[in-house]
Amino acid sequence: MGVAHGWWTEAVIYQIYPRSFADSDGDGIGDLPGITARLGHLAELGVDAVWLSPFYPSPQADAGYDVADYRDVDPLFGSLADADALIAEARAKGLKVIVDLVPNHTSSAHRWFRAAVTAAPGSPERARYVFRDGLGPDGATPPNDWQSVFGGPAWTRLVEPDGRPGQWYLHLFDPAQPDLNWDNPEIRAEFLDVLRFWLDRGVDGFRVDVAHGLIKQADLANWEEPQEILSGNEVDKPRPPMWDQDGVHEIYRDWRRVLDSYDGARILVAEAWVEPAERIARYVRPDEMHQAFNFEYLLAAWTAPAQYAVITRSLEATDAVGAPTTWVLSNHDVIRHASRMGLSAKGGRPNGIGIGDPQPDAALGLRRARAATLLMLALPGSAYLYQGEELGLPEHTTLPDESRQDPTWERSGHTQRGRDGCRVPIPWEADAPSYGFGPTDASWLPQPPLWAEYALDRQQGVSGSTYETYRTALRLRREHGLGRGTLGWLSSGDEVLSFRNAGLTVLTNFGAAAVPPPAGELLHSSAPLDADGRVPTDVTVWVRH
The answer to the question of residue 209 lying near ligand GLC (CB under 6 A) is: yes
Q: How far is the CB of 407 from ligand GLC (least distance, A)?
A: 8
| Whole-angstrom distance, CA of residue 388 vs CA of residue 428 | 10
Let me know: does 10 contact 483? Beta carbons within 8 Å: yes
From 50, 102, 292, 497, residue interacting with ligand GLC (rule: CB under 6 A): 102
Torsion from C-alpha of 406, 411, 417, 421, nearest 10 degrees: -10
DSSP state of 129: B
Instruction: Closer to ligand GLC by CB, 295 or 302: give it.
Output: 295
State the binding string over 11-50 for ligand GLC (x if CB under 6 A, else -): ----------------------------------------
State the binding string over 348-387 for ligand GLC (x if CB under 6 A, else -): ----------------------------------------
The answer to the question of residue 98 lying near ligand GLC (CB under 6 A) is: no
Going by their DSSP bridges, the two strands 49-52 and 96-101 should be labelled as: parallel
The continuous run of DSSP H or E covering 66 comes out as none
| Whole-angstrom distance, CA of residue 389 vs CA of residue 190 | 36
DSSP state of 18: G
Q: How far is the CB of 62 from ligand GLC (least distance, A)?
A: 5
Q: How far is the CB of 177 from ligand GLC (least distance, A)?
A: 6
DSSP, residue by residue, 176-191 = TSPBB-TTSHHHHHHH
Instruction: Closer to ligand GLC by CB, 229 or 301: give it.
Output: 229
User: For residues 323-342, which are near ligand GLC according to CB under 6 A?
Assistant: 332-333
Q: How far is the CB of 331 from ligand GLC (least distance, A)?
A: 7
Instruction: Closer to ligand GLC by CB, 173 or 283: give it.
Output: 173
User: For residues 229-288, which are near ligand GLC according to CB under 6 A?
Assistant: 229, 271
Strands (E), 332-439: 382-386
DSSP state of 4: P
Let me know: does 104 contact 213? Beta carbons within 8 Å: yes
From 10, 62, 390, 538, residue interacting with ligand GLC (rule: CB under 6 A): 62
| Whole-angstrom distance, CA of residue 290 vs CA of residue 205 | 10
Of the residues 10, 31, 204, 209, only one is catalytic, namely: 209
162 is a catalytic site residue: no
Instruction: Closer to ligand GLC by CB, 318 or 405: give it.
Output: 405
Q: How far is the CB of 415 from ligand GLC (least distance, A)?
A: 17
DSSP, residue by residue, 428-493 = S-TTSGGGGSSSSS--SSPPPTTHHHH-HHHHTT-TT-HHHHHHHHHHHHHHHTGGGS--EEEEE-
Of the residues 23, 271, 389, 406, only one is catalytic, namely: 271
Q: How far is the CB of 487 from ligand GLC (least distance, A)?
A: 29
From 112, 155, 173, 255, residue interacting with ligand GLC (rule: CB under 6 A): 173
Instruction: Closer to ligand GLC by CB, 349 or 534: give it.
Output: 349
The answer to the question of residue 65 lying near ligand GLC (CB under 6 A) is: yes
Instruction: Closer to ligand GLC by CB, 207 or 524: give it.
Output: 207
From 50, 83, 210, 280, residue interacting with ligand GLC (rule: CB under 6 A): 210
| Whole-angstrom distance, CA of residue 142 vs CA of residue 146 | 9
Instruction: Closer to ligand GLC by CB, 229 or 306: give it.
Output: 229
The continuous run of DSSP H or E covering 295 comes out as helix 295-299
| Whole-angstrom distance, CA of residue 290 vs CA of residue 284 | 5
Rounded to 5 degrees, what are φ and ψ at 15? -85, 125
Strands (E), 238-317: 267-270, 291-292
Q: How far is the CB of 409 from ligand GLC (least distance, A)?
A: 13
The arrangement of strands across the sheet holding 165-170 comes to 131-132, 165-170, 155-159
Q: How far is the CB of 358 from ligand GLC (least distance, A)?
A: 25
Site size toward ligand GLC (CB under 6 A) is: 10
Instruction: Closer to ligand GLC by CB, 270 or 391: give it.
Output: 270
Q: Which residue is nearest to ligand GLC (CB)?
A: 65
Let me know: does 107 contact 176? Beta carbons within 8 Å: yes
271 is a catalytic site residue: yes
Positions annotated as catalytic residues are 209, 271
Site of interaction with ligand GLC (CB under 6 A): 62, 65, 102, 173, 209-210, 229, 271, 332-333
